[in-house]
Homo-oligomer: A and B are copies of this chain.
Amino acid sequence: MFEKNTIGSCETCTKRWKNFQYLTPKELHYLNEHRYEASFNTGEIIIKQGSPASNALFLSSGLAKVYIEGINGKNLIMSIAKPGRLIMGPGAYVNSRHTYSVSALSKVQACFISFEVFRKMVKENGEFAEGMITDISIKSLRTHNRLINITQKKMPGKLAEILIYLADEIYGSDEFEMVLSRKEIGEMTNMAKESVVRILKDFEKSGIVLSKASKIKILDKDKLKLISERG
């Protein structure tokens, strides 16, 4: 699985985690020495829920889905991972197990960094520790939103929120090539795939979105936002 590193070093990496800016050159160098790259094809599992959490993960290219394997093989997709973001579940600091699974939604180049090194830097570098807490807090805030989204909205509201999330946070554009299948959108919103199809069709009929095969184009974002907020 692990291969020759294709990225020169963390020092020069353009996709690196923002929080690395707080590390000293020496620390960054040390980090770089405990780094391993690997590439994955679409559908391959990068991190398996329950396995020992010995590394933090970053993507240098591609997209992946972060999901909890729940009851009776039913998955719950927590978020979509993209380059520049730390992927490390809360289990790392609690039971040293991965809280969730991560699998590639496209060809992915991944960077694994020893969790022990992370831990060391948290202890030694206060700015880095604070950045880490901020990062975890942002994720936590998102989870809270997801919780409200899933529990308190009806289907159109739930779907609308996810479409906005994908456009704003993942693709940075209102027109994108959807990497998630209808079934997977369902796993993000706690909906059956058939329901996803139907609501998406409704949105299309109302002129809110355009969905040709895997291409999604948001036509009326204000309306979509309204649907999302209203529930």
- A143 and B143 contact, Cβ closer than 8 Å, known pairs A71-B148, A133-B129: yes
A134 interfacial contact with B, CB 8 Å: yes
The verdict on A137 contacting B94 (CB below 8 Å), with A122-B130, A123-B130, A151-B76 known, is yes
Rounded to whole angstroms, the CA-CA distance of A108 and B127 in the bound complex is 35
With A126-B123, A133-B132 already in contact, the answer to whether A94 and B147 are too (CB < 8 A) is no
**Is A45 in contact with chain B by the CB < 8 A criterion?**
no
Partner of A143, one of B71, B134, B140: B140
Q: For A139, list chain B residues within 8 Å (CB).
A: 140
Cα A58 to Cα B130 with chains together (Å)? 21
Q: A94 and B141 in contact (CB under 8 A), knowing A133-B136, A146-B147, A147-B146?
A: yes
Contacts of A231 in B (CB 8 A): 71-72
- Measured between beta carbons, the chain B residues less than 8 angstroms from A31 are none
Q: Is the CB of B68 within 8 A of A153?
A: no
Distance A91 CA – B90 CA, assembled complex (angstroms): 17
B150 touches A150 (CB 8 A): yes
Interface size class of A (residues with CB under 8 A): 35 or more
| Smallest beta-carbon distance A140→chain B, Å | 4
User: Is A101 located at the chain interface by the 8 A CB criterion?
Assistant: no
A137 near B91 with CB under 8 A, answer yes
Given the known inter-chain contacts A123-B126, A129-B126, please indicate yes or no for A68 contacting B140, CB distance below 8 A.
no
Residues of A within 8 A of B (CB): 68, 70-72, 74, 76, 78, 90-94, 99-100, 119, 122-124, 126-127, 129-130, 132-134, 136-141, 143-144, 146-148, 150-153, 190, 230-231
